[in-house]
Amino acid sequence: MASLNIGFIGLGNMGAPMAANLAKAGHKVRGFDVAGTTAEGVEQAQTIPDAVTGADVVITMLPNGSILRQVAAEAIGHMREGAVFIDCSTVDVESARNTSEAAEKAGLLAVDAPVSGGVGGAEAGTLTFMAGGSEAAFAAAAPLFEIMGQKAVHCGDAGAGQSAKICNNMILGATMIATCEAFALADKLGLDRQRMFDVVSTSSGYSWSMNAYCPAPGVGPKSPADNGYKPGFAAELMVKDLGLSQQAAELVDADTPMGARALELYKAFVEEEDGKGKDFSAMLPRFAGRGRGN
């Protein structure tokens, strides 16, 4: 594809490698981050208008819906008609829809496209994008998704990408807790962790949490458990995503007891225990060190 002028706002742990991959692919990328962070091959902008003026595409990767709304309000007014606004943040569905509506009113194509794959996927260009927006907007964004990731799914209209992401991560949070509980129970039953993995990973207990991201050190493929639970996906981010799932469930009157309990457990792990700054799979030592009365 022809080289594009891309404005990238939010050069954090995820945004920086995503922007760098776009630059590596031959696009001209101007990046802005309030913390002043940069990315390889990306020209540093001093303000949001500086990053987005004249851009063919603007991509955001931001912490929450409130910040997205503020950034979008400033950026959209400086973008040219017909340009594409892609938000890759994980935010509430309402903020995603609000941003898309504002962009479309300004004559832009808008896509909400949260990602799965973590920092490793951002660096390797193997992310999965869950996209919401019109067919035309998705088609315009798709070539960039191919650079930054390995798969992009058009989930539906505005907000559908966020809906898919929070449903996915609600499953992830609950299955990781179940996986960690099972390993802790196996320990107390005297069952070897490797043998436990060998059975479950090829049986009906199979899951991504067990097979691809095993929380037990030295078992299964290499994961954060093998690096002292240094975050690949921080427990704090799981609290955020589970919170978004429960916010959405309340809005549409959906019964999600497992998601609600997973949020309670992760929130306690981060706020009251020692989970802050650890990978979300560090629930395993948390359960392993506790009994029924704890």
Q: Please, what are the domains in the chain?
A: 5-157 (3.40.50.720), 163-289 (1.10.1040.10)
pLDDT score at 285:
97
29-34's contacts with Cβ under 8 Å and 24+ in sequence apart are: 30/5, 30/6, 30/55, 31/7, 32/7, 32/8, 33/9
- Of 140, 130, 154, 50, which is closest to residue 103 (Cα–Cα)? 140
CA gap 148, 68 in Å, rounded? 21
Burial string for 195-208 (b: 16+ CB within 10 Å, else e) reads ebbeebbeeebebe
The residues, ordered by sequence, that sit 6+ positions from 171 with a Cβ below 8 Å of its Cβ are none
254-261's contacts with Cβ under 8 Å and 24+ in sequence apart are: 256/170, 258/170, 258/174, 259/170, 259/173, 259/174, 261/174
Beta-strand (E) ranges in the chain?
A: 5-9, 28-32, 43-44, 57-60, 84-87, 109-112, 115-116, 127-133, 149-156
- Of 206, 184, 183, 212, which is closest to residue 196 (Cα–Cα)? 183
pLDDT score at 118:
85
CA gap 78, 132 in Å, rounded? 23
Per-residue pLDDT of the chain (294 residues; tens, 9 = 90+): 689 999 999 999 999 999 999 999 999 999 999 999 999 999 999 999 999 999 999 999 999 999 999 999 999 999 999 999 999 999 999 999 999 999 999 999 999 999 998 888 999 999 999 999 999 999 999 999 999 999 999 999 999 999 999 999 999 999 999 999 999 999 999 999 999 999 999 999 999 999 999 999 999 999 999 999 999 899 999 999 999 999 999 999 999 999 999 999 999 999 999 999 999 999 999 999 988 877
pLDDT score at 2:
82
The set of catalytic residues is 165
H or E segment and range at residue 243: helix 235-252
Q: Model pTM?
A: 0.89
CA gap 121, 128 in Å, rounded? 8
Q: Measured over all CA atoms, what is the biggest interatomic distance in the chain, rounded to whole angstroms? A: 65
CA distances from 147 to 46, 121, 194 (A): 26, 12, 37
CA gap 99, 122 in Å, rounded? 23
H or E segment and range at residue 141: helix 135-148
- Of 88, 102, 206, 115, which is closest to residue 169 (Cα–Cα)? 115
